């Protein structure tokens, strides 16, 4: 006859300890997995945002009537031809990094003239780790621009505009954006791209 005896207190304590260890390991693994998945999602989101920024900046800046003189031939004075009026300038806001603001203009309504009104004056700049969009024709050093990135999710640590080549046909503008995830600051990306600007006087 087989007699089943009950578990001793020691056996129960050992079994309980083993279960606790297994549970803690499973919980730790689960937490690490969730953290890894979350960081992966933030990394993909940051990459998507940089791609979107590249598209928006390229589509707008490439429309610049570079070196246009209000769509009119340069004015001659005493046999000296005045240089075309620049419609793209690079500077910065306050103490932000050099070359972190670009202003440009183009004949949006195709009237034949680049108007002084804000509707044909555009720009992007870095300010307080956000990229801002120019409104009301304001200069780089003036406040009141609108954010197009959100510092609650993305920190823009560098925005740089550099003219890399210039010729009679126009110029090449190189744009560099360094971005960092606001939650996981070890997640960072850099996007560098070039925009071709055609000289309408060429």
Half-sphere exposure of 40 (CA within 13 A, CB side): 6
Q: What was the pLDDT predicted at 2? A: 52
- Token pair recorded at residue 151: 């510092």
| Position 70 confidence tier, pLDDT thresholds 50, 70, 90 | very low
How far is 42 from 53, CA to CA, in rounded Å?
Answer: 16
Mention every residue, 6+ apart, whose C-beta is less than 8 A from residue 183.
42, 153
Burial bucket for residue 159 (CB in 10 Å: 0-12, 13-18, 19+): buried
- Per-residue pLDDT of 9-44, as tens digits, reads 777 777 788 888 877 777 777 777 888 889 999 999
Which whole-number Å values give the CA distances from 121 to 22, 38, 103, 108, 133, in the listed order?
64, 40, 7, 9, 11
User: For residue 83, what pLDDT band results from cuts at 50, 70 and 90?
Assistant: very low
The full set of domain ranges for the chain reads: 40-198
Question: Which positions ≥6 away from 177 have C-beta within 8 Å?
Answer: 50, 53, 54, 131, 156, 158, 159, 190, 191, 192
Q: What is the pLDDT of residues 91-124, one digit of tens each?
A: 999 999 999 999 998 877 777 777 766 678 899 9
- What confidence tier does 139 reach under pLDDT thresholds 50, 70, 90? very high
The answer on pLDDT for 125 being more than 80 is yes
């Amino acid at each position: 006859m087989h007699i089943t005896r009950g578990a001793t207190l020691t056996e129960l304590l050992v079994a309980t300890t083993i279960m606790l260890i297994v549970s803690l390991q499973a919980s730790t693994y689960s937490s690490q997995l969730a953290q890894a998945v979350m960081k992966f999602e933030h990394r993909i989101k940051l990459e998507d945002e940089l791609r979107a920024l590249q598209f928006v900046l390229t589509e707008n800046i490439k429309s610049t009537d570079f070196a246009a003189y209000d769509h009119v031939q340069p004015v001659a004075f005493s046999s000296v031809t005045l240089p075309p009026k620049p419609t793209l300038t690079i500077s910065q806001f306050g103490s932000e990094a050099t070359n972190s603001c670009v202003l440009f203009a183009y004949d949006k309504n195709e009237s034949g003239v680049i108007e002084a009104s804000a509707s044909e004056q555009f720009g992007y700049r870095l300010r307080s780790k956000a990229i801002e969009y120019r409104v009301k024709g304001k200069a780089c050093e003036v406040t009141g621009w609108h954010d197009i990135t959100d510092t609650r999710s993305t920190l823009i640590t560098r925005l740089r505009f550099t003219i890399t080549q210039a010729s009679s046909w126009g110029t090449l503008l190189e744009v560099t954006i360094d971005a960092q995830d606001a939650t996981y600051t070890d997640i960072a990306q850099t996007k560098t791209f070039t925009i071709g600007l055609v000289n309408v006087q060429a």
